[in-house]
């Protein structure tokens, strides 16, 4: 299966660099952003979840009405919605989008954030609940007669849904870096999401997920998704200059949190962030182009490692992860809309060109600059159109 690319949706121009701090939807910008993902060849876009943020189901549905091909990945926390309801909402989104819905499960790595919406289960139980939730979704999507369920976390009687996914089911993604995440995702996930760690540690994680798939009796294993924050420029020197300019902004905005951490604050509760900080402690640059300084600057708040260099360097670094077994690559920048355009013009074509060369010849080629960038769509017109 060819490598596919994921971005993250933005509903207004706010980002980590301009620090506008806006939360409300800017509809013309949102339309423009969604259509840019389509125009520049992205396959998916993640619609994130936060207790304080916009409803991802509504945002995902809107994305599908302004695009033709990009697939929204709805981030879902099991504590926020009963599984029978989620199954119908996802199937409805799938029908409205012509079969483009994907769901990404978040068990929850921060007890305080979980408690904001009433979830006080310990982490191990959150993963057990997630497994039960996924099994219920798949039954709702496939069963044609009413059925009962009496589990540890959910119980209902005589339920049936007539709302069916277009292709019979909807891809389920699971993320995480803990043993519980590997177990649930390896057993039940169609996709497993990882943050961008050094190659050796990424290989270990992929092996762990695949081992759990085998233990669960699967003959296949989840497709692997790896996330980076690429920083590109025409030369290596310009790319690193740009990277350090971004780092200065990140350090400024995260300064208070970092000072508290140095004065004895606790490490992040989730294992994924702990692993990114451990990589940053070992070295600032790993492998071909993986830069860990942004993770250190932000206390690894989310996916926060970068790939730095020319488009050729970054494309080669992405292919290093593809060679490990990654089939989905998530790339989002710091200047969101402009970075989507830059990646679509200069990185995605290089990766796809090299993969096509390998398929045609059975040999690896040399990644060389494209003769010319892809023609730029009329972004302003696309944003203004209904």
Say what the pLDDT of residue 246 is.
Answer: 98
What confidence tens digit (pLDDT) does each residue in 335-386 have?
Answer: 999 999 999 999 999 999 999 999 999 999 888 876 544 444 433 333 333 3
In the predicted model, is pLDDT for residue 11 greater than 50? Answer: yes
Number of domains composing the chain: 1
Say what the pLDDT of residue 370 is.
Answer: 64
Residue with more model confidence, 1 or 160: 160
Which residue shows structure tokens 């992860």? 321
Instruction: Return left, alpha or beta for 56; rule: phi > 0 is left, psi -120 to 50 is alpha, else beta.
Output: alpha
Strands 285-286, 290-291: pairing is: antiparallel
Residue with more model confidence, 311 or 368: 311
Domain residues for 58? 4-230+304-384
Residue 177 maps to which CATH number? 3.20.20.30
In the predicted model, is pLDDT for residue 32 greater than 70? Answer: yes
Query: Quick one: which H or E segment has residue 232?
Result: strand 231-232
Say what the pLDDT of residue 266 is.
Answer: 72
308 domain-assigned: yes
CA 156/CA 134 separation, integer angstroms: 15
343 domain-assigned: yes
Q: Give me the DSSP letters along 267-296.
A: PPSSHHHHHHHHHHHH-SEETTTEE-HHHH
284 domain-assigned: no
CA 197/CA 202 separation, integer angstroms: 6
Instruction: Compute the C-alpha angle 72/350/33, nearest 5°.
Output: 35
Say what the pLDDT of residue 365 is.
Answer: 87
Work out the average pLDDT over 269-287: 96
122 domain-assigned: yes
In the predicted model, is pLDDT for residue 267 greater than 90? Answer: no
What confidence tens digit (pLDDT) does each residue in 280-307 have?
Answer: 999 999 999 999 999 999 999 999 999 9
In the predicted model, is pLDDT for residue 227 greater than 70? Answer: yes
377 domain-assigned: yes
289 domain-assigned: no
Say what the pLDDT of residue 12 is.
Answer: 97
Long-range interactions of 246-251: CB distance < 8 A, separation 24+ = 246/17, 246/294, 246/334, 247/293, 247/294, 247/297, 249/16, 249/17, 249/19, 249/334, 250/16, 250/294, 250/297, 250/298, 251/297
Work out the average pLDDT over 176-201: 97
67 domain-assigned: yes
pLDDT > 70 in the chain, percent:
92
254 domain-assigned: no
Q: Which two tokens stand for residue 304?
A: 């926060």
Q: What is the mean pLDDT of the chain?
A: 92
Q: Closest Cα to residue 121, out of 152, 87, 149?
A: 152
In the predicted model, is pLDDT for residue 276 greater than 60? Answer: yes
Strand partners, 150: 155
Contact by Cβ (8 Å): 200, 295: no
Burial of residue 243 (CB within 10 Å: 0-12, 13-18, 19+) is: buried
Q: Which two tokens stand for residue 177?
A: 């870096």
pTM above 0.85, yes or no: yes
Q: Closest Cα to residue 37, out of 7, 60, 13, 65?
A: 7
Q: Half-sphere exposure (CA, 13 Å, Cβ side) for 107?
A: 31
């Amino acid at each position: 299966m060819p490598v596919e690319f994921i971005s993250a949706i933005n509903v207004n121009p706010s980002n980590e660099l301009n620090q506008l701090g806006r939360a409300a939807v800017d509809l013309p910008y949102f339309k423009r952003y969604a259509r840019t993902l389509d125009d520049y060849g992205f396959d998916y876009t993640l619609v994130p979840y936060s207790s304080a943020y916009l409803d991802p189901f509504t945002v995902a549905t809107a994305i599908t009405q302004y695009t033709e091909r990009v697939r929204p990945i709805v981030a879902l926390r099991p504590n926020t919605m009963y599984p029978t309801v989620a199954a119908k909402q996802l199937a409805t989104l799938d029908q409205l989008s012509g079969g483009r819905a994907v769901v990404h499960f978040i068990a929850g790595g921060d007890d305080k954030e979980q408690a904001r919406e009433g979830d006080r289960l310990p982490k191990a139980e959150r993963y057990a609940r997630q497994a039960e939730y996924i099994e219920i979704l798949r039954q709702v999507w496939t069963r044609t007669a009413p059925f009962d369920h009496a589990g540890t976390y959910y119980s209902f009687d005589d339920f049936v849904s007539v709302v069916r996914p277009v292709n019979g089911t909807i891809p389920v993604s699971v993320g995480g870096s803990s043993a519980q995440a590997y177990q649930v995702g390896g057993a039940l996930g169609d996709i497993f999401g990882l943050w961008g760690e050094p190659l050796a540690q990424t290989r270990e994680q992929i092996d762990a997920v695949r081992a759990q798939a085998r233990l669960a009796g699967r003959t296949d294993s989840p497709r692997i998704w790896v996330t980076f924050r690429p920083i590109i420029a025409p030369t290596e020197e310009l790319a690193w200059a740009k990277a350090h300019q971004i780092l200065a902004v990140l350090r400024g905005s995260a300064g208070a949190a970092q000072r508290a951490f140095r004065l004895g604050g606790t490490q992040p509760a989730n294992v994924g962030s702990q692993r990114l900080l451990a990589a940053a402690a070992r070295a600032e640059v790993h492998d071909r182009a993986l830069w860990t300084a942004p993770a250190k600057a932000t206390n690894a708040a989310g996916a926060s490692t970068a790939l730095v260099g020319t488009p050729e360097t970054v494309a080669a670094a992405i292919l290093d992860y593809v060679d490990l077994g990654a089939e989905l690559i998530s790339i989002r920048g710091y200047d969101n809309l402009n970075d989507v355009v830059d990646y679509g013009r200069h990185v995605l074509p290089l990766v796809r060109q090299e993969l096509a060369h390998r398929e045609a010849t059975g040999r690896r080629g040399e990644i060389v600059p494209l003769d010319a960038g892809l023609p730029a769509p009329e972004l302003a017109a696309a944003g203004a159109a209904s």
